[in-house]
Amino acid sequence: MRVPLAWLNLVHEKSRLVVALAGVAFAVLLVFMNLGFLGALAQSASMFYQYMDADVFLVSPQTLEISSSKAFPRDRLYQAAGIKGVARVMPLYLGYLQWRNPETRDSRAVFMFAYNPQDRVFLLPELNTSATLAALDRPDTVLFDRLSRPEYGSKDIGTKTEVDRRTVTIGGQYELGGGFAADATVVSSDQNFLRLLKIPLNLVNMGLIKLEPETDAQAIAAQLRQVLPKDVVVKTKAEIIENDRSYWITSTSTGFIFGMGVAVSCVVGVVIVYQILYTDISDHMKQYATLKAMGYRSGYLFNVVIQEAIILSVLGYIPGFLSSVGLYAFAASATNNALPVAMDWQRAVMVFILTIAMCVLSALISVRKVVTAEPVELF
């Protein structure tokens, strides 16, 4: 059996090995956390649409994503209702309000969804019970999201507070989450939306179109694009989800920061492993030169350094992965489970491969000293 030279080189100085593994684990942790937040950013951008009972959406051309939606005439929904294959159309009103914490009296922004209580806008069972619909019909009554941050105060049914200088009552609860767009969400009727924001109901922020069973959403969307004026944009559910994901990831500073964080984490890992391998090679240069003088080819020594890099990547990945799982759980708990940060096997495999590639790249940079070494010059 061959002597496991790569492994023996690494364990020869255990303190150096521990430092190397800590460096790799830290780089893996950084990559996991940035990818986790980037994934949560993309998932939270589509979260609202996944709970909406619609197949096609109408939005203003000026709308970038759901939390910055602009209004368009409600007449466009009536025009869409005349298309064959359309089962029903539902206007959705969106906007931000200043919610006053009933305990501390501090005000914070809350994101509102408003619609006609007779419309089945959301698929959430809690929003479609008889008690919920009765609460929505009551004046100055809203439903409050349980996943909203604690800074908003009591979420109990019957709690009274002020919203934009108007007294409102919490008439029910639900679980949705606001992701990166909002720290809290509320649901109200369209009439309460009018009372609170003083915006006429003939201007809607989003039009939801439910199609007949087995109707092709792409075909209906194409037909609507031909019929409707250019003051609205027609998107299928898949298209509007992709639009919001793309906006948050590529057009916002949040997506840029997390994407840059992944790149920087990889650079940190490459530098750490390079320093460890380069120092190991320098300390054992005479031994490598002796092996070359004995007849071992450069390819053998090259493989030894590559093996060291792979061993470091595997051993460093394990604590980095375990730490990431714990921090994912902490991040979800700290945001009251409103931020969907969770580990999945695709990300775990991708980061594992990335860790190996990162360490091998460091080895390729540092191994040149071994390959070009001449025994005569070292003795």
Residue 240 to residue 234: CA distance in whole angstroms: 9
Per-residue model confidence (pLDDT) at position 247: 86
84 contact partners, CB below 8 Å, separation of at least 6: none
Per-residue model confidence (pLDDT) at position 16: 81
| 3-class DSSP assignment, residue 187 | strand
The pTM score is 0.77
Residue 97 token pair: 């309000």
Q: Which of 203, 15, 3 is nearest to 93 (CA)?
A: 203
| 3-class DSSP assignment, residue 293 | helix
Which residues, given as ranges, of the chain have pLDDT below 70? 1-3, 298, 336-338, 369-379
The 8-class DSSP code of residue 105 comes to -
Per-residue model confidence (pLDDT) at position 348: 92
Residues 330 and 36: beta-carbon distance below 8 Å:
no
Residue 142 to residue 111: CA distance in whole angstroms: 12
Per-residue model confidence (pLDDT) at position 52: 93
The CA distances from residue 279 to 13, 151, 292, in Å, are 12, 51, 19
Residue 12 token pair: 């020869």
The CA distances from residue 93 to 90, 125, 362, in Å, are 10, 20, 54
Per-residue model confidence (pLDDT) at position 95: 92
Residues 307 and 300: beta-carbon distance below 8 Å:
no
The CA distances from residue 38 to 35, 45, 261, 303, 332, in Å, are 5, 11, 10, 36, 14
Residue 305 to residue 370: CA distance in whole angstroms: 9
Residue 345 token pair: 């096997």
Per-residue model confidence (pLDDT) at position 102: 87
